[in-house]
Amino acid sequence: METLHILIPRDQVAAKVAELAGRISADFAGESVVLIGVLKGATIFLADLARQIRLEASFDFIAVSSYGNAKEHSGEVRLVKDVDQSLEGKNVILVEDILDTGLTLTYISNLLLAHQPKSFKIAALLDKVSRRTAPIHADYVGFEIPDEFVVGYGLDFAERYRNLPDICVLDSEKA
């Protein structure tokens, strides 16, 4: 049986997203940015973040596969969809739902850095610091969370629960 309980309610998420957008707007004042969302989990975060960023901004998306339908990282990352444009000379902000082991963002960061952007930053709504195996950190972090499996606000378990408005912990127990 699966049970859900709220870890971060929607109003706290909204306040944090506004704060991150404020920091990004200040850090890049007078410049334009390219927000690159990692499909599909980052879409809701990106949509909310982008609407509060007071800069000229464009979007792009990248898709990788790493988890399948399991909760544990398979250890390998595969590119499913690359960005549509060259990022050379651009201010790139990679937008991700959650940093866990860091394997996914390490792979994507290397891919994007090869474009030689003007600057490169990572915005991650959630950070499971204790799970990190790759030496990577996000420049803009929403919340550090404990090692629990979370869903909602874009995050899924086997493609379910992405549309939940709050960030919830998913507990699954075998009956």
Is residue 73 a contact point for ligand IMP (CB under 6 A)? yes
Asked if 164 and 151 touch (Cβ cutoff 8 Å), the reply is yes
Whether 27 is a known active-site residue: answer no
Nearer to ligand IMP, 55 or 112 (CB): 112
- Residue 57 as a binder of ligand IMP (CB under 6 A): the answer is no
Of 34, 35, 41, 44, the one binding ligand IMP (CB under 6 A) is 41
Burial of 15 (0-12, 13-18, 19+ CB in 10 A): exposed
Residue 117 gets the label, from left (phi > 0), alpha (psi -120 to 50) or beta, of beta
The active-site residue, picked from 48, 97, 100, 156, is 100
Retrieve residue 69's tokens. Answer: 């339908």
Using CB under 6 A as the binding rule, the residues of this chain from 20 to 39 that contact ligand IMP are 38
Considering only 9-17, 81-89, 92-100, 113-121, which stretch makes contact with ligand IMP by CB under 6 A?
A: 92-100
State in angstroms the smallest separation of the CB of 129 from Mg ion.
Answer: 17
Task: Decide: 126 and 97 in contact? Cβ < 8 Å.
Answer: yes
Q: Does 43 bind ligand IMP (CB under 6 A)?
A: no
Site for ligand IMP in 98-137 (CB under 6 A): 98-105
* Closest to ligand IMP by CB, 48 or 96: 96
CB 134 within 8 A of CB 103: yes
Does 41 bind Mg ion (CB under 5 A)? Our answer is: yes
Question: What span, in angstroms and rounded, lies between the C-alpha atoms of 162 and 158?
Answer: 10
Q: Nearest-CA neighbor of 124 among 100, 150, 148?
A: 100
Shortest distance in whole angstroms from residue 73 CB to ligand IMP: 4
Q: Which residues are tagged catalytic? A: 100
